[in-house]
Structure 1
Amino acid sequence: MSITARILKIITDSIGFCLAKMPHWLFVWHIKVLATIMRIFDNRRHKDARANLDFVYGEQMSKEQKCKIIKKCYENFAFVLLETIRVAFIPMEKYMQCFHLIDEHYLLDTLHKDKGAISISAHYGYWEAIASALPPRYTWCNMASLGRLTPFDAINQMIIARRELQKVKFIDKKGAFKHLLKLYGGSNPLAGILVDQNISIQEGIWINFFGKRATHTTIASVLSRRFN
């Protein structure tokens, strides 16, 4: 581990420990402060969010409604960042009490019948729970989490460490297919895949999304057909 990565780990672990010990109302206050800072200074993504809402809804949604959605998105992203930092310092029994799985029998039926499953999500809600809340419930599965790394090695090391906290193998989106083939060639595989970003047509297919043309990955379908 590089010196930069070590320093970053010390800082994030210190922040995470404090966040895990503070009262819930104070944790929520930190979320709102961080979300406000990001919304003010993250000009590019703020414009992207507004452009996406304009593209999908046009004049059907008011400017105030769009601003409210964007504000909520920043708050949710701030929550995911801070929750990911502090989760290592929350007792697992207490952490698992935060989750209630709806229609879990669909996943369990697939795991027992086909000896494996594919879990798909968007960057919606607390998406990191795929790698933190599912593993303690499915200890017999070989789990992996597919994600995108950053250009910064120190941050990447932290991302991988947090994702693999519950012994979930992290798979980088670049060159992921060969690793997924190896995973699903083994016993009891369960991969979590985030699939909500537009991709090149060479990697996906055209679909209708909110009445607009967009590309979508076929990776889950390919794995499902290849491994039954």
Structure 2
Amino acid sequence: MKRKIKDYYRYVLYKFFRFIFIITPHSILKPILIFSAKLVNKYNKRFNKVVEANLYLAFGNTLSQKRKEEIKFNSYKSLFFNMYEFIENQKISKEDLFKKANFENEHYIIDAIKNNRKIIFITAHYGGWEIALPYVALKFGTLAVVNRKMDNPLINKLYIEARDRNNIIMLEKKVAAKGMLKALKNNNHVAVVIDQHIKDGVEVEFFDKKVLATDATSRLSLKLDAIIIPIFSVMNDFRNYTLKVYEPLDPRNIEFKTEDKIKEFTKMQSDIIEIQIKETPDFWFWQHKRWKKFYKEIYK
């Protein structure tokens, strides 16, 4: 009973803030979000320690303290902008959503569709991840996205309805493999965010440090001859993004150097995420304990 009351309270609170977000002019909302990011950046000691540990593990002593602080703040700002995207994209039209982003190397997606290839999109919690997948789904067809079910069933229902409105099918993590397989066989596209800590997976190196990475995308790609297309939403400004598409990983063209194709293929995908983060580290979600499996002592 207490859980239900708590869920309903959070649901009402969420609806209230969503209403405020929607009616507030962008010119006012933007500085409010930036100010909120500054407050969290200054006072959230718990996550700040995670960010600092991750930056040191990834870059060692190559970054100045000033640059680390800049990355940390921009990461929080990106997070707050994403919160807004998540809310606004539940209500706005497809045309208005398209106005918020432009494509770089869109031809990779168009060519894959023209050639009737099954597509697996991979991405990360980077920049405007809450706009990247709805944009792709509305422009290029139904997208099955692997996602964790929210703890609050009332908010989760709103989340599913919003995703459905944006042409997205939600796949539970627990049954993701079967869901992705079914989606691809039904000629729908699949999208997976592959930059988080997971309990089980293939051991690869990320920033020259060991992590576990999902091998589901590699297995499906090799099994179904599906092309893997990396895509990242680079934040230019508030409600202004560039959807950056990397050259696809096509199992037909890859010359594997080892017997373990799954691990090698998975490492290729992880490397692309690393390349994008190194290019502009400010927009990655550094608050996540990506290296927890093998370096959990750094988060104590």
TM-score where L is the length of structure 1: 0.85
Does residue 106 (structure 1) correspond to residue 69 (structure 2)? The answer is no
- RMSD (Å), alpha carbons: 2.4
Query: Per the alignment, do residues 70 and 96 of structure 1 end up closer, same or farther by CA in structure 2, a change over 3 Å counting?
Result: same
Match of 1:77 in 2: 79
Deviations 1:136-168 (A, max 9, x none): 212xx3321112234333343333333333131
Q: Distance in 2 between matches of 1:190 and 1:90?
A: 23
Query: Per the alignment, do residues 163 and 47 of structure 1 end up closer, same or farther by CA in structure 2, a change over 3 Å counting?
Result: farther
Aligned equivalent of 2:125, options 119, 123, 131: 123
Q: Distance in 1 between matches of 2:167 and 2:5?
A: 25
User: Is the Cα contact below 8 Å between 2:138 and 2:167 reproduced in 1?
Assistant: no
Q: Which amino acid aligns with 2:220?
A: L
Q: Which amino acid aligns with 2:147?
A: G
CA shift at 1:40, angstroms?
Answer: 4.5
Q: Distance in 2 between matches of 1:156 and 1:44?
A: 26
Local SS of the residue matching 1:123: coil
Q: Distance in 2 between matches of 1:6 and 1:108?
A: 44
Query: Per the alignment, do residues 89 and 40 of structure 1 end up closer, same or farther by CA in structure 2, a change over 3 Å counting?
Result: same
Where in structure 2 are the equivalents of 1:128-167 lying within 5 Å?
128-138=130-140, 141-167=141-167
CA shift at 1:192, angstroms?
Answer: 1.6
Q: Distance in 2 between matches of 1:9 and 1:92?
A: 26
Local SS of the residue matching 2:102: coil
Where in structure 2 are the equivalents of 1:33-44 lying within 5 Å?
33-44=35-46
TM-score where L is the length of structure 2: 0.66
Query: Per the alignment, do residues 160 and 5 of structure 1 end up closer, same or farther by CA in structure 2, a change over 3 Å counting?
Result: farther
Aligned equivalent of 1:68, options 67, 70, 76: 70
Unaligned runs of 5+ in 1: none
CA shift at 1:44, angstroms?
Answer: 2.4
Identity %: 25
Query: Per the alignment, do residues 21 and 151 of structure 1 end up closer, same or farther by CA in structure 2, a change over 3 Å counting?
Result: closer
User: Is the Cα contact below 8 Å between 2:37 and 2:77 reproduced in 1?
Assistant: yes
Q: Distance in 2 between matches of 1:82 and 1:211?
A: 34
CA shift at 1:169, angstroms?
Answer: 0.8
Query: Per the alignment, do residues 36 and 161 of structure 1 end up closer, same or farther by CA in structure 2, a change over 3 Å counting?
Result: farther
Deviations 1:86-130 (A, max 9, x none): 223333322211111111111121123234211110100111223
CA shift at 1:226, angstroms?
Answer: 1.2
Q: Distance in 2 between matches of 1:72 and 1:40?
A: 12
Match of 2:215 in 1: 218
CA shift at 1:178, angstroms?
Answer: 1.2
Q: Distance in 2 between matches of 1:120 and 1:110?
A: 15
Match of 1:186 in 2: 186
Q: Distance in 1 between matches of 2:25 and 2:103?
A: 25
CA shift at 1:60, angstroms?
Answer: 1.4
CA shift at 1:26, angstroms?
Answer: 1.2
Query: Per the alignment, do residues 118 and 174 of structure 1 end up closer, same or farther by CA in structure 2, a change over 3 Å counting?
Result: same
Q: Which amino acid aligns with 1:197?
A: Q
Q: Distance in 2 between matches of 1:95 and 1:115?
A: 26
